[in-house]
A and B are shown apart, each in its own frame.
Chain A
Amino acid sequence: MSERPTIEQYQKFIQERDFHVFRCKKCGAMIAPPKGVCYSCGSNELEWAKVSGRGKLISFTVIHVAPEQFKDEAPYFVGIVELEEGTRVTARLLGLDPDQPEKVQLGMPLRLDYETGQTGRMYLGFRPA
């Protein structure tokens, strides 16, 4: 896996439940979702890296009115998760009650998981650790 990382492969890793992020070869910064350059140092030399899967909740919402293709999944959580490695991703939040969003604590520890949507598509997900 020394080839230049691509978005297509990033998405494929998620579909295969094997989340990988981009890593800057120069400064080691972890980058997800993908960018063409490293915003920490400006380098465009990037490679694949695995992450611990540990993170914390930064903020979230519960989608009630969903676009057509997600309608049958609503209500569902979408959150911003900060990975232990520093970068933040947008992901589905799993194992929480969408009828009691006020009980969800920002900052709570989460662990990487995946969720299969109604269409068979795999979402990047996180659940309470």
Chain B
Amino acid sequence: MPLRETHIVSGAQTKFGKLEGITLREMFAEAVDKATVDAGIAKEDIQAAFIGTFIPEMLVHQGHTAPLLVDYAGLRGLPATRHEAACASGATALRAGIMAIESGLYDTVLVAAAEKMTSVSTNKATEALAAAADDEFESSMGLTFPGVFAIAAVAHMQKYGTTEEDMALVAVKAHKNAAKNPLAQFQKEITLEKAMTPRYVAWPLKLFDCSPISDGAAAVVLTNREKAKKYTDTPIRIVGTGQASASMNLCDRTELTSFEGSVRAARIAYEMAGLTPKDIDVAVVHDCFTIAEIIATEDLGFFKPGEGAKAVREGVTAMDGDMPINPMGGLKAVGHPVGATGVKQAVVIYRELIGEAGANQVPNHDVGLMHNFGGTGATCVVNIMRRADA
């Protein structure tokens, strides 16, 4: 049965990138203000807050972030809890918000997420990111995140003939979309030649196959069916949500060319929504690396296994293609402040579905899907949303 109650009535993000001179709590408060007061939603209406941050303990030496952040944003007193699932922290916070509304416990809640990554050295940030993989059996051997996705890429290349150029085309598309997005970290197109620059991070993945280290925050307000129209004429209903876990270790996966957590979470979400991949007009997928986008579009059922690269080559996933993927530029070019990404994805789908995505607006926008992925794919969340009038 599709979810009935949960509606997104506002959504906003800060600019993503290296935000000099702005701390974690300040960017969080900026996103919250944009999603509440600036959208005509009084903070007094918010009854609980679900917060996504990945690893502020290592990045800004701060734990217990939920009360700290809501306090700074003027929401002191609310029940506020942090959700951590590496790069899927934001989407797991969103799911907690969905459950809170569906259960009827609250009428209106805030889901907000933030990560400040650029105040430490790249080495330190990389070390913090590595904590999302299994330290005991994989990281301790020198396997890095790009390495994990490189191993998946090699398997995909071998099984389906996917090429380094196919992956580079994902980066070219991401930058092309982000060039029109004023909130993106990289607002500049790149050529295929540049994307192919052989600066290997983890062979066969090169510099331009990887998402950057970023700062940023995002927030959405969720409310129930009854209240939704009070806040906006265009509420977006969340009709399906799925989450799954998988092994942290790559070696424990039977399949390397597909992420089983994505497949499982998608199946749950589609079933709940009563929809199929064909019903989706626009999707944001977790493109932490270019190969991850190709595999995600297969795991989500948009393309058959092995045909994700072909879809990129033929422009199917372009902003004006039949199945637009990451129309605002994805993690790759908009940036990836880890904990914030899942909520930012919800903001992107919200803006696309209400028709306010500006220069990044896709032509068909009744139904959207977001796919958020944690670490090596050990957590995966898929949410399906539709315009309440669609």
A interface vs B, CB < 8 Å? 7, 11, 33, 35, 58-68, 70, 73, 75-76, 78-81, 88-92, 98, 101, 106, 117, 123-124
- Cβ-defined contact, B251 with A90, below 8 A: yes
Q: Supply 26 A–B pairs (Cβ within 8 Å), ascending by A.
A: A33-B134, A33-B137, A33-B249, A33-B251, A35-B252, A58-B155, A59-B151, A61-B154, A61-B203, A63-B146, A63-B202, A66-B144, A67-B142, A68-B123, A75-B200, A75-B203, A79-B151, A80-B151, A88-B251, A89-B251, A90-B250, A91-B141, A92-B142, A106-B154, A106-B158, A123-B141
Please tell me if the beta carbons of A63 and B142 are within 8 angstroms of each other in the complex. yes
Interface residue B102 (Cβ < 8 Å from any Cβ of A): no
Instruction: Give the residues from 128 to 171 in chain B that come closer than 8 angstroms, CB to CB, to chain A.
Output: 130, 134, 136-139, 141-144, 146-147, 150-152, 154-155, 158
Residue of A nearest to B144 (CB): A63
What separation, in Å, do the CA atoms of A62 and B152 have in the docked complex?
A: 13
- Given known contacts A33-B251, A89-B251, A106-B154, A63 and B256 CB-to-CB distance under 8 angstroms: no
* Besides A62-B202, A90-B137, A92-B142, 7 other A-B contacts (C-beta < 8 A): A67-B126, A78-B142, A78-B147, A90-B138, A92-B141, A123-B141, A123-B142
Choose among B143, B158, B202 the residue with the greatest number of A CB atoms under 10 Å from its CB.
Answer: B143
- Interface residues in B196-224 by Cβ distance below 8 A to A read 200-205
Provided the pairs A58-B256, A101-B203 are in contact, do residues A65 and B151 lie with their beta carbons within 8 angstroms?
no
Q: In the bound complex, what is the Cα–Cα distance between A33 and B325 (angstroms)?
A: 36
| Contact call B154/A60, Cβ cutoff below 8 A | yes
Q: Which residues of A contact B256 (CB under 8 A)?
A: 58-59, 80
> Which residues of A are found within 8 Å of B202, using beta-carbon distances?
61-65
B127 CB within 8 Å of chain A: yes
Min C-beta distance of A31 to chain B, whole Å: 10
Q: Is the CB of A66 within 8 A of B200?
A: no
Q: Are B204 and A101 within 8 A (Cβ)? A: yes
- Of the candidates A61, A101, A106, A123, the one whose C-beta lies within 8 Å of that of B147 is A61
Residue of A nearest to B154 (CB): A59
Shortest beta-carbon distance, A34 to chain B, in Å? 8
Q: Look across to chain A and name the residue whose beta carbon is closest to the beta carbon of B203.
A: A62
Most buried by A among B136, B147, B201, B204: B147
The 7 closest A-B pairs by CB, nearest first: A61-B150, A70-B142, A62-B203, A33-B137, A59-B155, A88-B251, A64-B200
Q: Tell whether, in the assembled complex, residue A64 and residue B250 are in contact, meaning their CB atoms are under 8 Å apart.
A: no
Q: Would you call A63 and B143 a contact (CB within 8 A)?
A: yes
Tell me the minimal C-beta distance from A13 to chain B in angstroms: 13
A80–B136 CB distance below 8 A: no
Contacts of B141 in A (CB 8 A): 78, 90-92, 123-124
